[in-house]
Amino acid sequence: MLSVTCKIRLSAAGVHLFDRDSGMNVLLDEVPVPVEQFSRAPRYLSIALTNACELRCAYCYAPKHAAALDRERVVAWAAELDAAGCLGVGFGGGEPTAYRRFAQLCSDIAQSTSMAVTFTTHGHRLTPELVESLRGAVHFVRLSVDGVAATYERLRGRPFAAVVQAAGLLGSLAPFGINAVINADTVGELDDLAEFADEVGASELLLLPEQPTAATPGISDADAQRLVEWTAAARNGVQLAISRTGLEATLPTADAVPGERPLDAHMHVDATGVLRPHAYAPTGLSVGDSIMEAVQALREAR
């Protein structure tokens, strides 16, 4: 008999069951939930552990000043979030594998909570030893691959063969997806990216239309249109996903949790400990002793 332990989250949408090992979500939207029982935490929280990263991609939104979060503080936040109905934490940066004792942090949270632990990486610090130390401590990984072959090497300044090797290492660790920033450099390589994702065994290709930063204006309207047209015609072996970037209205996206407000779906903590509505948000609230107090304050401020 199959036995599955699910995390339960209650919201206006109904009763949400989530199994972190398989990634399976079941929303019982026919079950009404009283307001006072709604889970208070966002469904998902991303955390920038450090601003440090050895790559210098022009379109990167992460701040460049030195900052890193205290490990014990992150573990304490995870316990609070878990108790308040959060389904998963995702580590980014910067480059999370550049964070000291990263594997220990993932292990601590995987063992002390029922949340999914995920992270996004450029893959160039992954070694068999690091992957081994992460085994059992992470449930999903996102590998950043912008373009293929020469385009990747020009944008990321690293050999494409190295990221192929990283995908191979991740395949032995956990289910993983491919993240791709879509801009003028990569919009013409969507077929190649989808083929790459399929070949390396990725379960998902997450399309990230380039966001404006101090260094770049973001994806152009024309390239955004090319992306929309490609997704409409694409016949891929890999599942497609897209970040919340304003293109949802023109794409046939699936609304996982109907009617979910953005702050119920996701929040972000940067490497200085400021809670923001999302990673691109210009302002937020500094997290004090309790992250759930900050979550509540952020909701009330908007």
Partner 1 sequence: MRIWNGYGSEHSMDLVLIGQFQTVTGAKAAEERMEALKALAEDAWSDDDWQSPGERMPRELGEALAEMKAYDMGRYDVDVFALDHTVTRTGEAVRIWTDESDVQGFLKALLHYGAKVEIFSRHKWDEDTITRTDASTRSDSGSD
> Looking only at residues 52 through 91 of this chain, which bind partner 1 when binding is defined by CB under 8 A?
52-54, 56, 60-62, 64, 66-73, 87-88, 90-91
Other CB atoms within 10 Å distance of the CB of residue 246: 10
Instruction: Give dist(CA 106, CA 110) in Å, integer.
Output: 6
Type of residue found at 145:
V
DSSP H helical ranges for the chain: 71-83, 102-112, 128-134, 149-156, 160-171, 190-199, 221-233, 262-265, 291-301
Report the number of secondary-structure helices (H) and strands (E) in the chain: 9, 13
12, 79, 241, 251: which one contacts partner 1 (CB under 8 A)? 241
**Comparing C-alpha atoms, which of 47, 50, 30 is closest to residue 101?**
50
Q: Does 180 bind partner 1 (CB under 8 A)?
A: no
Which residues, numbered 182-201, are part of the site for partner 1 (CB under 8 A)? none
Instruction: Pick the binder of partner 1 from 101, 135, 154, 261 (CB under 8 A).
Output: 101
Site string for partner 1, 270-299 (x = CB under 8 A): --xx-----x--------------------
CA–CA separation, 5 and 18 (whole Å): 8
Q: Which is nearer to partner 1, 36 or 87 (CB)?
A: 87
In whole angstroms, the minimum distance from the beta carbon of 29 to partner 1 comes to 6
Around 48, how many Cα atoms within 13 Å sit in the side-chain half-sphere?
A: 27
Q: Does 32 bind partner 1 (CB under 8 A)?
A: no
Q: Does position 215 bind partner 1 by CB under 8 A?
A: no
7 near partner 1, judged by CB under 8 A:
no
Q: Which stretch binds partner 1 (CB under 8 A): 117-125, 187-195, 217-225, 226-234?
A: 117-125
Among 10, 41, 78, 98, contact with partner 1 (rule: CB under 8 A): 98
Q: Does 208 bind partner 1 (CB under 8 A)?
A: yes
Of 219 and 300, the one with the shorter C-beta distance to partner 1 is 219
How long, in residues, is the chain? 302
